[in-house]
Amino acid sequence: MRIDNEMKLEFLSKSQNESFARSVVAAFIAQLDPTIDELADVKTAVSEAVTNAIIHGYECQNGHVTIVSKIMGRTVEIEIKDYGKGIENIDLARQPLYTSKPELERSGMGFTVMETFMDNVEVDSQPGMGTTIRLIKTFKSM
């Protein structure tokens, strides 16, 4: 599919960058004139993926998170990448209520929220190499 627009963002894995990251992505996709609900869905899904990179990928140590977002027609693809710990068992990580850090009072609903709010969620991960989460959503026609 033809890429109509693309942006790349890179930031340190600090929790204060979570709102920055989701706001930047929301500002980028605003050119597609999504509904308020669609915009809120994407912001929430991005927040979940970035939070996962910070808490699980880097276990709250410093590292870099990159976001590449592409617009293709009415479809937006957002790739959130870390170079951290990686996920041993992706199927388990995607289970509702599963958390590898129960001591942190996590809800274990991050992937479920991403899957519900986006049309498609793809996860590539290798232990020791990092994780890439690809979020895809097509906005309804204007």
Partner 1 sequence: MNVGFDFINNKLLIRIDGDIDHHTCDEIRSRIDNEIMRRNPKNIIFDMKNVNFMDSSGIGVIIGRYKLIIDKGGLAAMINVKPPIKRVYDICGLKKIIPIYENENQAIQKI
* Positions that interact with partner 1 (CB under 8 A): 15-16, 18-19, 22, 36-37, 40-41, 43-44, 47-48, 51, 54-55, 104-110, 112-113, 116-117
**Residue 52 or 69 having the CB closest to partner 1:** 52
CB neighbours of 93 closer than 8 A, spacing ≥ 6? Answer: 87, 100, 111, 123
With 0-12 / 13-18 / 19 or more C-beta atoms within 10 angstroms meaning exposed / middle / buried, residue 131 is buried
The reply to whether 5 belongs to the active site is: no
Q: Which of 22, 38, 52, 77 is catalytic?
A: 52
Q: Which of 48, 79, 94, 115 is catalytic?
A: 48
- The amino acid at residue 136 is I
The reply to whether 52 belongs to the active site is: yes
Active site residues: 48, 52, 106
